[in-house]
């Protein structure tokens, strides 16, 4: 009887001790006393970072500005996972799923290797969508821009 | 031991000489202590601290998702999605979870590498569980009847008003990996 009680008590102690969890989410902002080209200055002191921009959840398709421009993403992509295990973008935009999801298909150029050979699935070099395709927030231009698309795109 | 049991049986058999009200009071007090104690113990196994005792890497993952951090500050903790709220279902799940204590003792997911290796298995088990109970834990907060389609994306409206409304599909069929990193999705429907 006594042994059983001791066992139970020990079990409780072990369980409560193992449940501690550490939070290491503190943002490190100091340069750790390392001398760099800008001296011991903190980056955050000289240059305040911009506020985060809000990306609209859904917007109209955005026209291309020049011929080779990768189309822009007209929706929010918060929480989309694109890694070795899964590609959330392709779960709608792949050839296989685009029809059912009424989404734009990726172009066939995404199946080509650097040597111009066409593969049966997305080429590894084109797998990370966000390298070229990005969503658009309503950010005012920092400097004046006079760029005009060519006639065929206007 | 046997002597003790015999004495206990004797006490139980003889009518109590204490006042009726007193016996009743003892009953109530005992009930509160045992039932309350049981529930408090059960609640303790439903906290984030308890879960992260074994599943620390997975608790970290949720922090960048909408179920942890969002504009209005409403959030879900592990047990909101992984433990049924209904009492009987909850007890059933808790009893099943005793198997997981063995895994804890064996250190089945004690390192990040071991955990990554087992991720697909663990994810699949949860997907099946939620598919089987019609994503009940999603629906504890996200009630279909109160969804405002005019606030949803066009595609969401299309899918929610057809496949979801008819019961063909349930939440988890499409909404996978919303609070965790995904396992290898090769061969999973819709990926």
Query: Could you give the ipTM of this predicted complex?
Result: 0.77
Average pLDDT, chain A: 82
pLDDT of residue A11: 52
Q: Is B52 on the interface with A (CB under 8 A)?
A: yes
Among A11, A52, A85, A127, the strongest candidate for a mutation testing the B interface, having the largest count of B CBs within 10 A, is A85
Task: Give pLDDT tens digits along chain B (191 positions).
Answer: 889 999 989 888 888 777 888 889 999 999 999 999 998 998 999 999 998 888 887 888 888 899 999 989 999 999 999 999 998 999 999 999 888 889 888 988 888 899 999 999 999 999 999 999 999 999 999 999 999 999 898 889 999 999 999 999 999 999 999 999 999 998 898 88
Looking at the domain that runs over B38-174, which CATH code has it been given?
1.10.3820
How many Cβ atoms from other residues are within 10 Å of residue B185's Cβ?
20
Of B67, B68, B58, the residue nearest B116 (C-alpha): B58
| Residue A40: pLDDT over 60 | yes
pLDDT of residue A18: 44
pLDDT of residue A20: 40
**Averaged pLDDT, A106-135:** 94
Q: Is B86 on the interface with A (CB under 8 A)?
A: no
Domain A52-138: CATH class, spelled out: mainly alpha
pLDDT of residue B74: 93
How is chain B split into domains, by residue range?
Answer: 38-174
Residue A8 banded pLDDT, cuts 50, 70, 90: low
Q: Is B100 on the interface with A (CB under 8 A)?
A: no
pLDDT of residue B55: 85
Please tell me the pTM assigned to this model. 0.76
pLDDT of residue A73: 94
**Secondary structure string (H, E, C) spanning chain A:** CHHHHHHHHHHHHHHHHHCCCCCCCCCCCCCCCCCECCECCCHHHHCCCCCCCCCCCECCCCCCCCCCCCCCECECCCCCCECCCCECCHHHHCHHHHCCCCCCCCCHHHHECCCCCECCCCCHHHCCHHHCCCECCCCCCCCCCCCCCCHHHC
Q: Of B59, B65, B184, which is closest to A85 when you measure between CB atoms?
A: B184
pLDDT of residue A14: 47
CB pairs under 8 A between A and B: 53
Q: List Cβ neighbours of A10 (8 Å cut-off, separation of 6 or more).
A: none
pLDDT of residue A6: 58
Q: Tens digit of pLDDT for each residue in A42-84?
A: 777 777 777 888 888 888 889 999 999 999 999 999 889 999 9
pLDDT of residue A5: 54
Find chain B residues with C-beta within 8 A of A20's C-beta: 49, 53
pLDDT of residue A3: 59
Residue A29 banded pLDDT, cuts 50, 70, 90: low
Q: Which residue of A has its CA nearest to B117?
A: A85
């Amino acid at each position: 009887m006594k042994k059983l009680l001791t066992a139970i008590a020990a079990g409780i102690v072990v369980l409560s001790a193992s449940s501690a969890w550490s939070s290491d989410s503190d943002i490190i902002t100091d340069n750790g006393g390392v001398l760099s080209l800008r001296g011991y200055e903190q980056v955050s002191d000289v240059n305040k970072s911009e506020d985060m921009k809000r990306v609209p959840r859904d917007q109209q398709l955005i026209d291309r500005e020049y011929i080779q421009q990768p189309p822009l993403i007209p929706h929010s992509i918060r929480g989309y996972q694109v890694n070795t295990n899964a590609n959330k973008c392709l779960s709608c935009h792949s050839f296989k799923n685009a029809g059912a999801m009424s989404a734009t298909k990726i172009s066939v150029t995404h199946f080509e290797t650097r040597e111009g050979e066409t593969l049966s699935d997305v080429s590894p070099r084109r797998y990370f969508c966000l390298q070229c395709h990005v969503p658009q927030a309503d950010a005012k231009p920092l400097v004046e821009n006079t760029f005009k698309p060519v006639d065929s795109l206007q | 031991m046997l002597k003790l049991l015999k004495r206990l049986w004797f006490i139980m058999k003889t009518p109590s000489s204490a006042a009726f009200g007193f016996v009743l009071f003892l009953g109530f007090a005992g009930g509160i202590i045992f039932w309350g104690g049981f529930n408090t113990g059960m609640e303790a196994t439903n906290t984030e601290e308890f879960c992260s005792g074994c599943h620390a890497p997975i608790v970290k993952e949720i922090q960048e998702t909408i179920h942890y951090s969002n504009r209005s500050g409403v959030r879900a903790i592990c047990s909101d999605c992984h433990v049924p709220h209904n009492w009987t279902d909850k007890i059933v799940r808790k009893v099943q979870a005793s198997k997981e204590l063995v895994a804890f003792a064996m250190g089945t997911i004690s390192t990040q590498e071991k955990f990554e290796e087992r991720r697909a298995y663990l994810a699949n088990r949860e997907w099946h569980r939620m598919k089987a109970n019609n994503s009940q834990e999603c629906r504890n907060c996200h009630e279909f009847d109160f969804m405002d389609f005019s606030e949803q994306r066009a595609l969401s409206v299309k899918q929610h008003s057809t496949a979801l409304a008819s019961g063909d599909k349930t939440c988890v069929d499409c909404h996978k990996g919303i609070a965790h990193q995904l396992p290898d999705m090769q061969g999973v429907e819709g990926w």
